[in-house]
């Protein structure tokens, strides 16, 4: 017969699974994998990724690891953070993550004025990858295949209609 402990354990397991779910963070580009941010960045004293970024979009979280903040600017993929990172968490050898950031951007159709009959191209102009597709003058959507996650569009939107969420660090197909 199942003991009281077995009974409680059976209930506890699903809860543990939920709390153990990995928190996804938007990392600087040129990273190979998330585990290196967890093992190397927490003991990195220089935090050279922060000081090397002229756009000032790299912040250090409470756990000592870097994240990107697009509230004012975006990433130019200038390579400076990768060149400055001594433990090679960020490295130019990581060609598969060189010009891509692990963030997925979306445009809210409720908040975007161009989805509500008002002409606005504020997000299109800073997107050098031409990833924001308009249907004529209206209804912009972000093409996930073209978007690098650079973040420049977000702060340009006058109605804060562009948001993003972190994704798993993806390896691009080898060229």
Query: Which spans of this chain sit near ligand SF4 (rule: CB under 6 A)?
Result: 28-29, 40-41, 44, 46-49, 52-53, 55, 57-58, 66, 75-81, 85, 87, 89-90, 105, 126-127, 129, 131-132, 142, 147-153
CA 139 to chain centre: 24
Pick between residue 47 and residue 116 the one whose CB is nearest to ligand SF4: 47
In the complex, the smallest distance separating the C-beta of residue 80 from ligand SF4, rounded to whole angstroms, is 4
**Quick one: DSSP state of residue 147?**
-
CA 80 to chain centre: 18
Pick between residue 10 and residue 56 the one whose CB is nearest to ligand SF4: 56
**Quick one: DSSP state of residue 42?**
G
Residue with tokens 């295949």: 145
In the complex, the smallest distance separating the C-beta of residue 70 from ligand SF4, rounded to whole angstroms, is 8
Whether 56 and 73 have beta carbons less than 8 Å apart is answered as yes
Furthest-apart CA pair in the chain: how many Å?
A: 70
In the complex, the smallest distance separating the C-beta of residue 45 from ligand SF4, rounded to whole angstroms, is 8
Pick between residue 9 and residue 39 the one whose CB is nearest to ligand SF4: 39
Pick between residue 11 and residue 70 the one whose CB is nearest to ligand SF4: 70
- Token couple for 122: 């504020």
In the complex, the smallest distance separating the C-beta of residue 30 from ligand SF4, rounded to whole angstroms, is 7
In the complex, the smallest distance separating the C-beta of residue 22 from ligand SF4, rounded to whole angstroms, is 18
Q: How many CB atoms lie within 10 A of CB 58?
A: 22
CB neighbour class for 116 (10 Å; exposed up to 12, middle 13-18, buried from 19) = middle
Pick between residue 80 and residue 166 the one whose CB is nearest to ligand SF4: 80
């Amino acid at each position: 017969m199942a003991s009281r402990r077995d009974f409680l354990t059976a209930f506890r397991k699903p809860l543990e699974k939920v709390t153990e779910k990995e928190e996804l963070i938007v990392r600087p580009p040129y990273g190979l994998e998330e585990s290196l941010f967890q093992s190397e960045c927490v003991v990195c004293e220089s935090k050279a990724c922060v000081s090397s970024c002229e756009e000032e979009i790299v912040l250090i979280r409470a756990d000592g690891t870097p994240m990107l903040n697009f509230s004012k600017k975006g990433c130019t993929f200038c390579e400076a953070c990768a060149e400055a990172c001594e433990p090679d968490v960020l490295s130019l050898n990581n060609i598969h993550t060189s010009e891509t950031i692990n963030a997925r951007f979306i445009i809210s159709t409720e908040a975007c004025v161009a989805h509500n009959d008002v002409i606005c191209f504020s997000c299109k102009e800073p997107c050098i990858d031409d990833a924001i597709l308009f249907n004529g003058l209206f209804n912009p959507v972000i093409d996930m295949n073209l978007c690098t996650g650079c973040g420049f569009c977000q702060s340009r939107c006058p109605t804060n209609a562009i948001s993003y969420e972190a994704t798993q660090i993806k390896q691009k197909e080898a060229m």
